[in-house]
Structures are given as structure tokens and as C-alpha cells.
Amino acid sequence: DAGVIQSPRHEVTEMGQEVTLRCKPISGHNSLFWYRQTMMRGLELLIYFNNNVPIDDSGMPEDRFSAKMPNASFSTLKIQPSEPRDSAVYFCASSIVPLAGVADTQYFGPGTRLTVL
Amino acid sequence: AQKVTQAQTEISVVEKEDVTLDCVYETRDTTYYLFWYKQPPSGELVFLIRRNSFDEQNEISGRYSWNFQKSTSSFNFTITASQVVDSAVYFCALSERGKFGGNKLTFGGGTRVLVKP
């Protein structure tokens, strides 16, 4: 079975450019998460969706960041305009929310390494 | 706010030695879940184990074992007879129940394990 798919795997761009990261969750999963990993801040949750609806975007750093999930099999994270401090590895994860009260396990994609010059 | 602390930043061992990774957490939730993830040099995040707060039975799975003690808010992880392939960064994570399902993960800072041949 295919895991979480992310593209591109590496992205190098110049400051001010728009960057779009893409994610395809595991088929059948109904929750999707975007994380960012940096040396300074570690792994931090940016936003998560449940059944394609954004539930919590409190981790999104600024208005320059936006995320969408138009359908159950695709999500994007967009940064516009990008800045050097956005350089990080961005992970997408998905899970299936089982019965109420039971935790799901999040499965991560390979990540997108973003470098903003 | 939830917090996960991994006090050990790096551990170096010789192959076949046992390695124990410490994890201490803080939460106000009465029901919660704890996870360990592995991040090998290739960069992906691999799910290892999951434990819920109402089951303190410690288990062994292959060369992995874990010791969950609710009284001390600790969730330690042991690799028995370490191998070079175990070299990675290991993350402890705590789940927080989201508003409408799904769980937000709070990660510790990670412990880098280096297994020397």
C-alpha cells in the first residue's frame, strides 16, 4: 500500500517567490496534518484537517501561509511570499480517526526540504 | 499546554549494547496517547509504538520495549542489542484530542542515537 506522498521532495526558491507543497494522504484516511521541522523549533504542527475541513490552524505562523484540502486525496500548503526563515522540512501526515475516544496513529510522508535563498 | 521533554540529546553506544531513551511529559488530559517515532538519516518519520494512558502494562516487541509509568509521567523506550541500523533520531510524542476528532501531536526535541560497529 502506498504511504503518504509528498511533492516535491526538494524545493529551492528565492525570497519573495510563491511556494506550493503537495500531499496525498493514505487512501481511506480522514485526517491530514502539516508539520514543520527546524533545528531551532523542532517538529511543530501547522494545521490539521478532518474530513477535508480545517480544524486547527493555530500553528500557522503568518498570513503568508495557507493550506487547502479540496478533496480527500489532496492537500496543499502554500507560502506566499516566501522568506529565508521559512527554510525547513515540511511533513505531511495522515491518519484515520477511529471510534471516539481512541487515538489515531499518524503516518508521515517523506517530507519536502524547502530552502529559501 | 502539553509538553514533552527528552533530556538526552545524543547517545552513543557500541553495537549489541542496550539503549534506553527517556521521555517525560506534561498534560492535563486524563486520557491521552504516547508515541515513539524514528527518524533515520534519510529523513522520514517512522511510527514505532503507541501507548494509551489507561494501560500501563509494559510490552516488548522484538528488540523494542517500553516502560510507561503514569505516576512519574514517563514513557521510556529501550532498544535491546542495538544495531548500526538503529542509528537515528528518536522522538517521543504526546497526543492531544482535537475539537472534532483527530489528535494533535506534541513532539519532544528528539534523541540522536549513534550505534557504532
Give the DSSP letter string of B2-37: -EEE---SEEEEETT--EEE--EEE---SS-EEEEE
Closest residue of chain A to B93, computed from CA coordinates: A43
Contacts of B75 in chain A (CB under 8 A): none
Give the model confidence (pLDDT) of B6-41 as tens digits: 999 999 999 999 999 999 999 988 888 899 999 999
Contacts of B100 in chain A (CB under 8 A): 50, 53, 55
Contacts of A23 in chain B (CB under 8 A): none
Strand pairing category for A10-13 and A112-116: parallel
B91: distance to nearest CA of chain A, Å? 9
Per-residue pLDDT tens listing for chain A (117 residues): 689 999 999 999 999 999 999 999 999 998 899 999 999 999 999 999 988 999 888 899 889 999 999 999 999 999 999 999 999 999 999 998 765 556 678 999 999 999 999
Could you tell me if B54 and B83 are in contact, meaning their C-beta atoms sit under 8 angstroms apart?
no
Indicate yes or no: CB of A56 within 8 angstroms of CB of B104.
Answer: yes
Q: Which three cell numbers stand for residue A44?
A: 511543530
- Closest Cβ–Cβ partner in B37, B103, B107 for A103: B103
Indicate yes or no: CB of A108 within 8 angstroms of CB of B44.
Answer: yes
Q: Which three cell numbers stand for residue A43?
A: 517538529
Contacts of A110 in chain B (CB under 8 A): 43-44
Could you tell me if A60 and A46 are in contact, meaning their C-beta atoms sit under 8 angstroms apart?
yes
Which of B54-63, B66-75, B81-90 is predicted with the least confidence, judged by mean pLDDT? B54-63
Could you tell me if A75 and A89 are in contact, meaning their C-beta atoms sit under 8 angstroms apart?
no
Using the Cα atoms of residue B42, residue A8, residue A93 and residue A117 in order, give the sign of their dihedral. Answer: positive
Indicate yes or no: CB of B105 within 8 angstroms of CB of A106.
Answer: yes
Indicate yes or no: CB of A95 within 8 angstroms of CB of B102.
Answer: yes
Closest residue of chain B to A31, computed from CA coordinates: B102
**Distance (Å, rounded) from C-alpha A107 to C-alpha A28?**
13
Strand boundaries in B33-108, DSSP class E:
33-39, 46-52, 59-61, 64-69, 74-79, 88-97, 103-107
Amino acid (1-letter code) at residue B57? Q
